[in-house]
C-alpha cells in the first residue's frame, strides 16, 4: 500500500509483517552449520530455548511457530507481530546456545571461520505472500534436493503436528499449513511430479552406482531402520545389490525391515559395525545426533579391507552420522547430502515440465487462498465498521434523549446531521491533507479501515 497521508494509520496489506519463512537450505548453507540448529533443536530443551529466543528478540510472546528440520533444511515458519529484522540474530543465538550444550560440534563449525558473520548470507528470509508461496512450494516438493521427492510432505505434516502438540500453532498456522497439504495433494494428483517418485534414498544409491557399475558383486550395509533406510534398501534391491544388511540399535526394527526385502538381513548395530570390513557400500540413514562411524574408532577396520578395493560411504543423515575424515583414508569415498545435489542434476531436468505445471497449480491456489483470506478479513472490517456506526448513533441519540421534552423533529434532524458529520470526519480529513491511494492490492475492508480510522476508534473506546 502506498499512501501519502498526514493523518490516520494506513491499513496493513495481507500478511503485512505477520508471516515469516526463514531457513537454512542445502543450496545456501553448509551442512556443518545446518547441523548446529538441527542438533540443538533435537535436544530435550531445544524447542523451548528456541521459542524463548524468538520471543525475546522478535517481540511477540504469542507468535505461532512451526520448525521444519530435515536433512536438507532447518526452517522457521512464523506468524505474529514480528520484528523480522531480528531473525538472523535468532539463528545466531540458537547456534551459540547449541555450542554451549554440544561443544563437540565446534571444530566442524570452525571450518567456516566467519560463520557468525556469514549466517545472514546463508539464510533465505521471506515475508508475507512470498513466505506463503514458498511454503506451498516446499510442501509440493519443488524446493527439495531431489525434485519431486515424496517424503517432504510427510516431514511437513510431522513438523506441524509437533508444533500443535507443543501449543505453538493457532488459527493462522493451521489455516496455512492445511492449505499447503491440500495443494501438495493436488500437485501429486494432477501432475507427473510424484510418479516414479525419487528421494534422497534413491539418490544415495545412484551415487553408489557411479562408483560401482554392477552392484551384484558388492555387499551393502544400511545403518538405520526408518523410512529413508527402508527406501534405500528397496532401491538397492531393485538395482540388483548382491547382498543387503540393515543394522539398527533395535534389532527388532532391523529384522522387521529386512523381512520386507528378499535376501535382506537384519543386524544389531554393534554387530554391523564390527563387520565393517566386509562391506563395499555403507549408507547411513539414522536419527542419531552424532557420528556413528568415526575415523579413530573404525578407520583401522576399514583400512584392513582387501588392498585396492574401494569402499563407498554415503551419509544421508543430518546431523551427519559418518565422520568426513574417513574420506582421508585410501580407497574410501565419503559422500554427504550436499554431494547428492550434483549427481541428481540430470534427474531434476527431466522433471522440470511437471514442475512447471505444479507451479501453475500453486500460483492459482495461492491467489485463491489470498482471496479467501481477504474475504475473511473484510468481514472483520465490516463488523468493525458496523460497530463504529452503532457507537456514533448511540452516542448522539443519548445526547438528544437527555432533553426533558424528548426528541422533537428538529432534534432528530440535528442528531442525524451529527451522525453523518462524524461518519465522514476522518475521510474529510484525508481529503484535506491530499492523501493518496495508488495500489490495487488493498481490499474493500482495508478501504473501510483506512477511510473511517477504525483502528483509532477502537483504541479510543478501549
CATH code where residue 92 lies: 3.30.460.30
Specify the pTM. Answer: 0.66
Report pLDDT for 344.
66
Same domain, 330 and 208: yes
Range of the domain at 231: 200-338
Last residue of a domain, which of 311, 338, 365?
A: 338
Note whether residue 365 is domain-resident: no
Last residue of a domain, which of 196, 214, 236?
A: 196
Q: What is residue 288's three-state secondary structure?
A: coil
Q: What residues are annotated to the active site?
A: 71
The C-alpha atoms of residue 38 and residue 46 are separated, in whole angstroms, by 9
Dihedral of alpha carbons 287, 317, 156, 237, sign: negative
**Phi, psi dihedrals of residue 69, rounded to the nearest 5°:** -115, 110
Same domain, 206 and 173: no
Same domain, 153 and 55: yes
Same domain, 67 and 164: yes
Last residue of a domain, which of 338, 372, 403?
A: 338
322: which strand partners? 293
Decide: 94 and 37 in contact? Cβ < 8 Å: yes
Number of structural domains, the chain?
A: 3
Report pLDDT for 262.
86
Helix 87-101 to helix 46-58 angle, to the nearest 10 degrees? 150
Distances (CA, A) of 249 to 43, 222, 288: 19, 12, 10
Same domain, 45 and 156: yes
Same domain, 242 and 99: no
Short-list 87, 83, 58, CA closest to 74 = 87
CATH code where residue 278 lies: 3.40.50.720
Same domain, 93 and 134: yes
**Phi, psi dihedrals of residue 416, rounded to the nearest 5°:** -60, -40
Note whether residue 239 is domain-resident: yes
Strand pairing of 281-284 and 264-268?
Answer: unpaired
Report pLDDT for 433.
62
Q: pLDDT tens per residue, the chain (462 residues)?
A: 434 433 333 333 444 447 899 999 888 999 889 989 999 999 999 999 999 999 999 888 889 999 999 888 999 999 988 888 899 999 999 999 999 999 989 998 888 888 888 999 999 999 988 999 999 999 998 998 777 777 889 999 999 999 999 999 988 899 999 999 999 999 989 988 866 556 788 888 888 988 898 899 899 999 999 888 988 998 898 888 989 999 999 999 999 999 988 889 999 999 999 999 899 999 999 988 889 999 988 988 887 665 678 899 999 988 899 999 999 988 899 999 888 776 666 666 667 788 899 999 999 999 889 887 777 666 665 666 667 677 777 777 777 667 666 667 777 777 777 776 776 666 666 555 655 555 555 555 566 566 666 665 554 554
Same domain, 192 and 258: no
Report pLDDT for 379.
64
Same domain, 190 and 215: no
Q: For the chain, first and last CA: distance in Å? A: 27
Report pLDDT for 394.
72
Same domain, 71 and 181: yes
Distances (CA, A) of 295 to 268, 291, 302: 21, 10, 9
Same domain, 23 and 149: yes
| Element containing residue 254 per DSSP (H, E) | helix 251-258
Note whether residue 352 is domain-resident: no
Grid cell at residue 443: 481490499
Note whether residue 346 is domain-resident: no
Report pLDDT for 11.
34
Note whether residue 375 is domain-resident: no
Note whether residue 382 is domain-resident: no
Note whether residue 301 is domain-resident: yes
Grid cell at residue 210: 557411479
Report pLDDT for 1.
40
Note whether residue 14 is domain-resident: no
Report pLDDT for 210.
87
Same domain, 229 and 114: no
The C-alpha atoms of residue 235 and residue 203 are separated, in whole angstroms, by 10
Amino acid at each position: 500500500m502506498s499512501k501519502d497521508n498526514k493523518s490516520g494509520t494506513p491499513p496493513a496489506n495481507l500478511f503485512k509483517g505477520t508471516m515469516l519463512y526463514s531457513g537454512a537450505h542445502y543450496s545456501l548453507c553448509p551442512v556443518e552449520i545446518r547441523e548446529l540448529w538441527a542438533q540443538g533443536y533435537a535436544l530435550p530443551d531445544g524447542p523451548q530455548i528456541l521459542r524463548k529466543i524468538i520471543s525475546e528478540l522478535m517481540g511477540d510472546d504469542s507468535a505461532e511457530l512451526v520448525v521444519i528440520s530435515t536433512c536438507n533444511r532447518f526452517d522457521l515458519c512464523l506468524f505474529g507481530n514480528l520484528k523480522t529484522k531480528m531473525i538472523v540474530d535468532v539463528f545466531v543465538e540458537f547456534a551459540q546456545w547449541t555450542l554451549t550444550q554440544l561443544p563437540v560440534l565446534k571444530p566442524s563449525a570452525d571450518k567456516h571461520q566467519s560463520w557468525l558473520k556469514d549466517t545472514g548470507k546463508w539464510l533465505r528470509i521471506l515475508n508475507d505472500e512470498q513466505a506463503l508461496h514458498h511454503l506451498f512450494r516446499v510442501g509440493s516438493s519443488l524446493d527439495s534436493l531431489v525434485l519431486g521427492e515424496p517424503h517432504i510432505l510427510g516431514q511437513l505434516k510431522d513438523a506441524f503436528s509437533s508444533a500443535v502438540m507443543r501449543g505453538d500453532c493457532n488459527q493462522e498456522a493451521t489455516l496455512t499449513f492445511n492449505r499447503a497439504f491440500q495443494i501438495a495433494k493436488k500437485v501429486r494428483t494432477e501432475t507427473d511430479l510424484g510418479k516414479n517418485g525419487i528421494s534422497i534414498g534413491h539418490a544415495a544409491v545412484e551415487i553408489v552406482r557411479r562408483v560401482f557399475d554392477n552392484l551384484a558383486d558388492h555387499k551393502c550395509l544400511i545403518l538405520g531402520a526408518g523410512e529413508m533406510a527402508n527406501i534405500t534398501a528397496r532401491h538397492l534391491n531393485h538395482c540388483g545389490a548382491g547382498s543387503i544388511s540393515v543394522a539398527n540399535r533395535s534389532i527388532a526394527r532391523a529384522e522387521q525391515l529386512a523381512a520386507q526385502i528378499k535376501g535382506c538381513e537384519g543386524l544389531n548395530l554393534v554387530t554391523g559395525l564390527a563387520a565393517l570390513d566386509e562391506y563395499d557400500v555403507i549408507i547411513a540413514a539414522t536419527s542419531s545426533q552424532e557420528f556413528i562411524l568415526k575415523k579413530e574408532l573404525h578407520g583401522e577396520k576399514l583400512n584392513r579391507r582387501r588392498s585396492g578395493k574401494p569402499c563407498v560411504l554415503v551419509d544421508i543423515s543430518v546431523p551427519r552420522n559418518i565422520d568426513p575424515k574417513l574420506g582421508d583414508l585410501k580407497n574410501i569415498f565419503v559422500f554427504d547430502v550436499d554431494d547428492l545435489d550434483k549427481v541428481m542434476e540430470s534427474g531434476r531436468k527431466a522433471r522440470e515440465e511437471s514442475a512447471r505445471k505444479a507451479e501453475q497449480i500453486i500460483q492459482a491456489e495461492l491467489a485463491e487462498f489470498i482471496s479467501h483470506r481477504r474475504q475473511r478479513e473484510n468481514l472483520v472490517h465490516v463488523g468493525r465498521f458496523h460497530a463504529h456506526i452503532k457507537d456514533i448513533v448511540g452516542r448522539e441519540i443519548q445526547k438528544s434523549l437527555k432533553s426533558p421534552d424528548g426528541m422533537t423533529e428538529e432534534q432528530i434532524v440535528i442528531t442525524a446531521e451529527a451522525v453523518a458529520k462524524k461518519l465522514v470526519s476522518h475521510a474529510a480529513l484525508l481529503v484535506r491533507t491530499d492523501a493518496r491511494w495508488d495500489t490495487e492490492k488493498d481490499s474493500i475492508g482495508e478501504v473501510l479501515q483506512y477511510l473511517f480510522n477504525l483502528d483509532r476508534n477502537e483504541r479510543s473506546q478501549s
